Structure 1
């Protein structure tokens, strides 16, 4: 959050004074209590958590202080963490596929309902089954007509050592390679229907997130 504020201020060429830094820290401290984090440990508890969100967020006697604030987004991170437990409930390959499809429908139905009810954006993250296709492990599909924007994210590759490289040359390149790796560079681009070549960007992850350039691909 601090990096985001500093980046926004930098675009306006505003000097970040000690007073402004204090105001930024105060704003962050005020904002953080309105970030609600849940840690379901199973697929069933995950679905139950989604089902309980309307009552939790919109109850007249809330358990939180965000009652009168607009809901910005619903972020479901690492959905694929439940894939193996879902598959383990099946005994055959075909029933495993059906079970995963059922779980996908349970997920997308709830997400669509919550997005409409809460008038907020929804963001889901999941590892890809195949790097070549960048298809998420879960959900397997979305209901027809659902507007979906799919983005792929991966660490920027570092060139491998050339075949037959000597120990001396490898040692010389080691420091340079580590310097590249330590930048924490990632690329993000749009995939699927409507994606265009060259539509993407590169960002760095360190103390915060810093946008590096457009046109990652």
Structure 2
């Protein structure tokens, strides 16, 4: 009898990796869905566009031996989706990088300092600088500006050792500078080993809040040229040989490269439970369309300039542009709005039709 009882208990044991257990625990804990990125304007839009999490698949007999309270908690485990945000513009100097700096600063700043609410995420951030323009001094000034804004709101004149607070926070921004799309892919593939190697950085006790890429379109034209050259070199070769080289990745295909970048970003996002935020510059030509918002501003709608599946990758697509005197206008990309669910349309009506304004000067960024 003892043997059969032991066999029954053993049959109820489910094996799982540690990362799977931690993933389920993270989903069971209350999720602050209203504060995903820490910037209200974007978080409000994410609340509108983020789909409701789907319940995780379960075996019919999986909950049979659970107590009622445990059964309820088990049902609460849902497949969590972390946001992907595209920040695009049709020109440079439109505020994309400034917004990215602000998000990165919020990611690493503490939530409170001496009982003063800072609203930082107290996490780590990965900043992938494909443009080669990352400015550490600018990130410092943006983080400093956030602190001063919060102090002013709480009528606090000065915090002790502000410089040390900023230094300790910004060391958790990990900057990478790939020089090509293959280099970007290799960077993404190496993030797991880098972040799990506690001897290489000081962020071991912090979650990864987000991966920032500035920008995702910087290598597009050199990739397009490389793709065209590769296609010319295939002229006259047998189809089977061409396909063999493609499968073995001996030949460059721009579509394959950009699809692999998205797959790797999805893998890393799922592994670390982090957001992905990237900038793009759009080449819209005559394909752009615009409609007037209630505030009189134009909401531009255009397709993603990158090959598939980038167009379907982001949860939220935001367009920014300069609005004069250091002010910038942000709005939801209106592409495909005819097919938007009713809840999205009604949600945007409540949120200034999906528009927001932010400003930037030498002292920082105000969103």
- Could you state the TM-score of these two structures normalised by the residue count of structure 1? 0.72
- State how far apart, in whole Å, the 1-side matches of 2:311 and 2:263 are: 8
1:152 maps to 2:293: no
1:65 maps to which of 180, 202, 205: 202
- Report the counterpart of residue 211 of structure 2 in structure 1: 74
Render the CA deviation track for 1:122-166: whole Å, top value 9, x for unaligned. 11111112172333323543497x66111111111xxxxxxxxxx
- Contact 1:127/1:136 (CA < 8 Å) preserved in 2? no
What does the per-residue CA deviation read over 1:151-210, in whole Å, with 9 as the maximum and x for residues that have no partner? 111111xxxxxxxxxxxxxxxxxxxxxxxx4x2111111124546362121111112101
**Which residues of structure 1 form unaligned runs of 5+?**
157-180, 212-217
Structure with greater contact order relative to length (CA < 8 Å, sep ≥ 6):
2
Q: How does 1:60-139 map to 2 (within 5 A)?
A: 61-91=198-228, 99-130=253-284, 132=288, 133-138=301-306
Structure 1 residues 150 and 209: CA distance shift in structure 2, 3 A: same
Q: What CA deviation, in whole Å up to 9, does each residue of 1:19-55 have, x standing for no partner?
A: x1x4332211111111110011111111101100000
Report what 2:164 is aligned to: 26
Asked if the contact 2:320–2:328 (Cα under 8 Å) also holds between the matched residues in 1, the reply is: yes
Number of matched pairs: 178
What is the aligned partner in structure 2 of residue 166 from structure 1? none
What secondary structure does 1:91 align onto? helix
Displacement of 1:15 in angstroms is 2.5
Aligned residue for 2:358, secondary structure, equals: strand
Counterpart mapping for 1:5-20 below 5 A: 5-12=147-154, 14-17=155-158, 20=159
Instruction: Give the aligned partner of residue 172 of structure 1.
Output: none
Please tell me whether residue 190 in structure 1 is matched to residue 332 in structure 2: yes
Aligned with 1:45 (options 180, 183, 194)? 183
Q: Does the 8 A contact of 2:303 with 2:311 survive in 1?
A: no
**Residue number in structure 1 paired with 2:48:** none
**2: CA distance, partners of 1:129 / 1:37:** 27
**d(CA) in 2 for partners of 1:136 and 1:77?**
15
Q: Distance in 2 between matches of 1:28 and 1:154?
A: 29
1:141 to 1:120, Cα distance in 2 relative to 1, 3 A: same
Alignment RMSD (CA, Å):
2.7
2:358 to 199, 203, 210: 203
